[in-house]
Amino acid sequence: MTLSVVIAGRPNVGKSTLFNRLARKRLALVDDMPGLTRDRKEAEADTGSRMVRLIDTAGLEESEKGSIAARMRQQSETAIAGGDVILFMIDARAGVTPVDELFAEQIRASGKPVIVVANKCESRAGQAGYYEAFRLGLGEAVAISAEHGEGIGELYSRIEAALDDAGHPRDGEPGAAQDGPSRPLRLAIVGRPNAGKSTLVNTLLGEERMITGPEPGLTRDSVASDFDWQGRPVKLFDTAGLRRKSRVSERVEKLAVGDALNAIRFAEVVVLLIDVDQALDKQDLQIADLVEREGRALVIGVNKWDLVEHRDKQLRELRDMVGQALPQVKGVPVVPVSALSGRGAEKLMQAVFAVYEAWNRRVPTAGLNRWFGEALERHAPPAAAGRRIKLRYITQSNARPPTFIVFCSRPEDLPEAYTRYLVNGLRESFDLWSVPIRLHLRKTKNPYVDKAGGRS
């Protein structure tokens, strides 16, 4: 099992900046506004002799029961309880605060190895706070600047020493964690605010991994979680709700929407989760179109299906509506689910793996050209300006998504309707439903024309 290093502390001490620094990627949203991070965020980090799971957490702060802050704190406490080493961060320029002291007591009580990290020590203003950290009773602090990268080498050494002292083997030693058998499928859950995305993620993971509630906009970061579905590894991304651009005004929401769009680009399969009471409005269709333009496989999940009375009739209507509104991803699966109860989750994941296989599919060259010849016989390309357009052969240049190149005499004159005819034929003949198909036209060279443009 991969060892975990948890970054904890009160809001706005620089936890997400350190997370990005240790992960060597910009994964967590960073802003001066406190409380930007709400859910746990995870990434792999190399400490030198071990690959560890790095966990960024929401800021620890006192809060009223049932509030968003209380749910954030519960997520952080769960991460601390499951961590192998805790990095307790303070803002050295602000010094040790009463809130720092309160949560230092709680972290000490966890019995976990703790390293105090005094951030913002790049100037003299942080020196006093660094020395104040000794009174927390958690040992000598590591002075760093997460923003500028100062002290990170020393922090890596302290993490290694803490793991060694706890008896955790280094990579390659007997008892060390081994890599899994295959790379995980990257799956993003997207949709409008309050569609139930985080609830669905929690159901799939089998734990309260994401903060949920009736308040729209709870999720800000695109949060990745690893799990196995019937023995197959999946990296699951929960994302912030996507609203119409004209309604996105706050700076934090703009950051969150940008992060959600990046998650779509990083994913291989995208589940667009829609609310059955507001199914397929203009924003849903725009999200689906974005997924297709990014070349990702698509599945549509219809949430709150347990509240529907005439299910067969409504499902037929929804599938007809999707077929008419999204011809560019013809055959996209529409799967009814209840994110809260988990009903339909298995069928949803079956659809995910089915479209993933289609998205990766390579068509044998012989079968592809046999189909191409038959397609031309059934429906020959039209003449343009009295001259026949010759389509010579087809090849698949790529998968993920399936991409084909047709070589022809005058690609600029081939009607778009004929291109659609070929794309639809590829879908039907090679079971490429619900995934984008890229069909490019290339002009074949005339063998009787030399490089200078003259005839031989």
Residue 145, burial from CB neighbour count under 10 angstroms (0-12, 13-18, 19+): buried
pLDDT number for residue 266: 80
- Each residue's pLDDT tens digit in the chain (456 positions)? 578 899 988 888 888 889 988 887 665 444 444 444 445 677 888 887 788 888 888 766 555 665 555 566 677 777 788 889 999 999 999 999 988 888 888 888 888 899 999 999 988 888 888 888 888 888 889 999 988 889 988 898 889 888 888 777 766 555 555 544 468 899 999 888 888 888 898 889 887 654 444 444 444 445 677 889 989 999 888 776 665 554 444 554 455 455 567 778 888 999 999 988 887 888 888 888 889 988 999 999 999 999 898 999 999 999 999 999 998 888 999 999 998 899 999 999 999 999 999 999 999 989 999 999 999 999 999 887 778 889 999 999 889 899 999 999 889 999 999 999 999 999 999 999 989 999 999 987 655 444 554 443
Single-letter amino acid code for the residue at 162: A
Q: Which fold has domain 185-359?
A: Rossmann fold (3.40.50)
- Fold matches, 185-359 and 365-443: no
Is the bond preceding residue 401 a cis peptide, omega within 30 degrees? yes
- Cα–Cα distances (Å) from 382 to 357, 385, 388, 407, 425, in that order, read 34, 10, 7, 16, 17
Cα separation values, 80 from 54, 56, 76, 86, 96, Å: 12, 10, 6, 7, 20
Give the pLDDT of residue 444: 76
> In the prediction, which pLDDT does 338 show?
93
Which pLDDT score, from 0 to 100, does residue 50 have? 81
Total-model pTM: 0.63
Tell me how far apart the alpha carbons of residues 141 and 244 are, in angstroms, rounded to a whole number. Answer: 46
Distance CA 387, CA 390 (A): 9
The ranges assigned to domains in the chain are 4-165, 185-359, 365-443
Q: What is the pLDDT of residue 211?
A: 46
Fold entry, domain 365-443 = GMP Synthetase; Chain A, domain 3 (3.30.300)
The correct answer on CATH 3.40.50.300 for the domain covering 4-165 is yes
Supply the pLDDT for residue 456: 38
- Do strands 41-46 and 51-56 pair parallel, antiparallel, or not at all (unpaired)? antiparallel
Q: Where are any strands of DSSP class E within 354-414?
A: 383-384, 387-388, 391-398, 403-408
